[in-house]
Amino acid sequence: MRYRKLLGCAALVGLAAGLGAQEKPQVFSGAQIIPIAGEPIAHGVLVVQGGRIVAVGAAGKVALPAGAEVHDVTGKVLMPGLVDSHSHIGGGTGGDGSGPIQPDARVLDSIDVRDASIQKAQAGGITTANVMPGSGHLISGQTLYLKLRDGRVIDDLLIKLPDGTTAGGLKMANGTNSMRGANGFPGTRAKSAALVREQYIKAQEYREKIRRANGDAEKMPPRDLALEELVEVLDGKRVVQHHTHRADDILTVLRIAKEFGYKVVLHHVSEGWKVAGEIAAAGAPCSVIMVDSPGGKLETRDLSWQTPAILEKAGVLVGFHTDDSVTDSRVFLRSAALGVRAGMTRKGALEAVTIANAKILGLEARIGSLEAGKDADFILLSGDPLSVYTHIEQTWIEGRKVFDLADPQDHLYAVGGPGAGDPHRAHLCCFTAAADLGLAANEDEQ
């Protein structure tokens, strides 16, 4: 990402300087602040240091630390960084065509952090994303919750949990995507559910064998990476992020989750409006995509823009997602605007791209709102976040600016055009200089 910042010794010196500068307090003063955790602040002040929010409040009521770097953002709107609960940026993939159940596949092993889709997500104000494998399997692999920091390798974007593990969920799907009728894939909805139950029963048995072994290596069952992940689901350490569209498929997901006692988030829920009461009763959050050009799958024919509003009124936790590239990360705020147009409250729509999605990922203690102690992830807007005329001008992650519309390269990612994508173009004479394409950075690393 922004390879020019990572070239040669100058880049290393700059990086070290940046790390030091991040310890210096920064003050953003004068903007209308939408903290999500409370009412908007007309003339607000945000203080960040060490990657965290120190204070947020009205001008004159927040103590400004000595020696702080002050950013005058008068006339702008400042709000938390956006959280995308379902994305495919970075080109990650999961399971293959060899079988329908592949929980051992890790999207971690297939994401290219230098892919332009990540910069484009930054341009859309997205600071955290749940990057998923595809939905062509009943279980297609482990998802990854990423901070969209500027990084060289995937480790630079990982979110670590308090126990030291990497944050992520498990992608599952039902409906037509996983019904192929070949190579062990199911040909019916009933067989789809049967195969899933079979795997979770195996996971229960695997967990019991480990419990009975009680640490005795000779009694331990052979290690099974797939079952290990399903045990994490059964133990509540990994949340199922479940692709589902039709009302009957949604109820099947809820039925199996209840049967085995695991946590589930429903994704897409095209017919969620038909079973909003059942979803609410199950306490299952929903991650909804707002598609303004319906078509394609027959199972989505009853998709409704009103689904988020109906779910909100039923008491369901509702988040929005891009499913990038189904919808473009650069216009993620548009989903919230469409939600309001279809009947959602303004408060609920803004929460759906921030704190609601943070809760869906189990990261609400760190992200999703502007509160003291949370990560300093925020965006600076030219106007109201739900206006079609508003532009995202800056994106900050943990107190560091990762996108600036005034920067020519960032502007290119925001608006598109030659050079805005395909970082792996051939190194030929007729293309731009290697350094501009980032190829020089690759050569320095070899």
Residue range 224-248, pLDDT digits in tens: 999 999 999 999 999 999 999 999 9
Burial tier of 110 (Cβ tally within 10 Å: 0-12, 13-18, 19+): middle
pLDDT of 1 reads 43
Distance CA 4, CA 14 (A): 11
Q: What integer is the mean pLDDT of 404-409? A: 97
Q: Name the segment(s) of the chain with CATH classification 3.20.20.140.
A: 82-360
For 338, the token pair is 């469409």
Residues of the chain with CATH 2.30.40.10: 3-81+376-445
**pTM of the predicted model as reported, rounded to 2 decimal places:** 0.91
- Convert the pLDDT of each residue in 137-170 to its tens digit: 999 999 999 999 999 999 999 999 999 999 999 9
Q: Tell me how far apart the alpha carbons of residues 371 and 151 are, in angstroms, rounded to a whole number.
A: 26
Q: State the average pLDDT over residues 207-217.
A: 97
For residues 256 and 265, give the distance between their C-alpha atoms in angstroms, rounded to a whole number.
13
- Burial grade of 59 (CB within 10 A; 0-12, 13-18, 19 or more): middle
SS3 labels along 293-350: CCCCCHHHCCCCCCHHHHHHHHCCCEEECCCCCCCCHHHCHHHHHHHHHCCCCHHHHH
- Region 287-309: mean pLDDT is 90
Q: Which of 76, 58, 62, 81 is nearest to 369 (CA)?
A: 81
Q: To 10 degrees, what angle do helices 408-415 and 116-123 make?
A: 90
Write out pLDDT tens, residues 17-35. 344 445 899 999 999 999 9
Q: Residue with structure tokens 């995937």?
A: 154
The reply to whether CATH 3.40.50.1820 applies to domain 82-360 is no
Peptide bond preceding 325 in cis form (omega within 30 of 0): yes
Distance CA 393, CA 93 (A): 31
Instruction: For residue 47, give Cα distances in angstroms to 51, 79, 148, 385.
Output: 10, 13, 21, 21
Confidence of residue 426 (pLDDT cuts 50, 70, 90): low
Cβ atoms of residues 395 and 379 within 8 Å: yes
Tokens linked to 73: 């953002």
- As a whole number of angstroms, the distance between CA 388 and CA 343 comes to 18
Q: Rounded to an integer, what distance in angstroms lies between the CA atom of residue 304 and that of residue 271? A: 7
Averaged over 216-231, what is the pLDDT? 97
Could you give the strand order of the β-sheet that contains 44-49, starting from the edge strand earlier in sequence?
52-58, 44-49, 26-29, 69-72
- Amino acid at site 51: G
C-beta of residue 368 within 8 angstroms of C-beta of residue 354: yes
Give counts: helices (H), strands (E), the chain. Answer: 13, 18
Q: What superfamily does domain 3-81+376-445 belong to in CATH?
A: Urease, subunit C, domain 1 (2.30.40.10)
Q: Is the pLDDT of residue 133 over 60?
A: yes
Distance CA 371, CA 123 (A): 23
d(CA 121, CA 127): 8
Q: What is residue 292's predicted lDDT score, i.e. its pLDDT?
A: 79
Does the pLDDT at position 440 exceed 60? no
Count CB atoms within 10 A of the CB of residue 445. Answer: 9
List all residues 6 or more positions away from 251 whose beta carbon is below 8 Å from its beta carbon.
275, 278
d(CA 90, CA 145): 12
Whole-number mean pLDDT of the chain? 91
Instruction: Write the pLDDT tens digit of every residue in 314-370.
Output: 999 999 999 999 999 999 999 999 999 999 999 999 999 999 999 999 999 999 999
Does residue 16 register a pLDDT over 50?
no
